Structure 1
């Protein structure tokens, strides 16, 4: 995937985002990362999925992920009305929770299923519909273990390069296909690369999306990139990672960062009315 230049964005919805956002391969460049970060490669080609471990086999990740107390009862937020979907990079809450979100879906490591079972945490999956269609059973098993499926377009194009009608086709069409595959329609949308404009927010609204999702932290190759003070994650932060070869390292790093900051993974959808 290409790495777009950071730029200022005006948010006329619920929140005002920071001037710059951070990336783990599908968004703008990090602003507070001291180590050099190599440019991500182009979107990976679909790969064959390995089969999960047979039922009854020991889970290799048992005891290797941090343990959390149960998340508090969620207190849903209020969303601004209007003709555009609100843009959220975090959930405005004082509850000590954070939200793990995972994008794309081409690389389907069996570790994802084992890690979700071992950790017991909820996650939100923002899937490209062709990647999901390639192996629906893989994602259905993730759903059975605490995942919720949301929308991420069909072709992973930069939304601002498209007109309103084409953006709507990408968002609605991807959501329609995911509905056919999994029986539940997505209600949240994440734009590829984090790129959006007012047409994106309007098209998302017109496709029935409650909100357009951004992020506060990203994880890539087992490293967490922080926005703001290094190592600090705040209540309500949305964390972004991807279905990649380093999935296990990224997943574990995200949970360790939450644990270090006294936060509990919670289900994003429970906070959005």
Structure 2
């Protein structure tokens, strides 16, 4: 009997120790990188599904500078309502998508700096993004962007050399836009249909050349993200239809998470820009 009582006591102690360890791990996972930095609160309390995990859960893995719990969780985007594009020989130039749907659009430019965490973070976030890539910036490693495409990102045109197009000749602008689209088509088996002029600078020639290169629309933005800070053109909140701009830079992780938190705080859901055009 004394042996039986001893075994029972040991078993009970192990169970209690396991519960205590689990609770402590849960507290640390819930804090995440954002909680320690004093940024937006973690959203691990409402995790989304993850491959290989039970429905309604997401493992809170630690990565380089971020945790899974740092990523806001969004519901599915509504069915897209395509906008009407004006006829004529020029593409429209849009700062936001004219929609009342509770969506916003995250776009990422250039590709000069290839942060090692960007492909993993985009895949883990499971949100749609549009990549406006500069071909001279990515020609050293086009494969870097393939995992992002596999995760649902769509590649669009951002010229060959990232030159300021405003005031340049039609021939120069057409070469930059068409040439970029042609190269991206060879690398990724899809020719871009959307265009962003470098620096947002354009003129009437830009919009005509973009049209003649097969683009449907050109884009600026309503919010920018840099070094983890969201800057607004209007007010202090992302509005439905807003287009958000960030870049492939050293602060990619902070910028990406800050953009998603701003969208989440506004009660919006990330949607794919291409679905509305």
Aligned pairs for 1:130-141 (under 5 A) are: 130-141=136-147
Determine if the alignment matches structure 1 residue 194 to structure 2 residue 200.
Answer: yes
Aligned pairs for 1:1-273 (under 5 A) are: 58=61, 60=63, 61-229=67-235, 231-272=236-277
Deviations 1:232-258 (A, max 9, x none): 111000000000000000000000000
Q: C-alpha distance in 1, partners of 2:161/2:142?
A: 18
Please state how far the C-alpha of 1:161 moved relative to its aligned partner: 3.4
Q: C-alpha distance in 2, partners of 1:171/1:151?
A: 7
Q: C-alpha distance in 2, partners of 1:216/1:182?
A: 28
Structure 2, unaligned stretches of length 5 or more?
1-60
Please, what is the CA RMSD of the aligned residues?
Answer: 0.9
Please state how far the C-alpha of 1:131 moved relative to its aligned partner: 2.1
Please state how far the C-alpha of 1:59 moved relative to its aligned partner: 5.9
Please state how far the C-alpha of 1:259 moved relative to its aligned partner: 0.5
Q: C-alpha distance in 2, partners of 1:196/1:81?
A: 19
Structure 1, unaligned stretches of length 5 or more?
1-57
Q: C-alpha distance in 2, partners of 1:64/1:225?
A: 20
Q: C-alpha distance in 1, partners of 2:151/2:144?
A: 11
Deviations 1:143-189 (A, max 9, x none): 00111000000111111131111000000001111111111000000
Q: C-alpha distance in 1, partners of 2:234/2:263?
A: 15
Q: C-alpha distance in 1, partners of 2:233/2:199?
A: 17
Q: C-alpha distance in 2, partners of 1:263/1:93?
A: 12
Q: C-alpha distance in 1, partners of 2:270/2:256?
A: 12
| Structure (1/2) with the larger helix percentage | 2
Aligned length in residues: 214
Q: C-alpha distance in 2, partners of 1:153/1:177?
A: 10
Deviations 1:23-79 (A, max 9, x none): xxxxxxxxxxxxxxxxxxxxxxxxxxxxxxxxxxx5623121100011011111111
CA contact (8 A) 1:132 1:178 kept: no
Deviations 1:254-273 (A, max 9, x none): 0000011000001000000x
Q: C-alpha distance in 2, partners of 1:213/1:257?
A: 20
Larger RCO: Structure 1 or Structure 2 (Cα < 8 Å, ≥ 6 residues apart)?
A: 1
Deviations 1:105-126 (A, max 9, x none): 0101121111112211010000
Q: Counterpart of 1:42?
A: none
Q: Counterpart of 1:10?
A: none
Structure 2-normalised TM-score?
0.76
Q: C-alpha distance in 2, partners of 1:102/1:59?
A: 24
CA contact (8 A) 2:111 2:134 kept: yes
Larger-Rg structure: 2
Q: C-alpha distance in 1, partners of 2:123/2:201?
A: 33
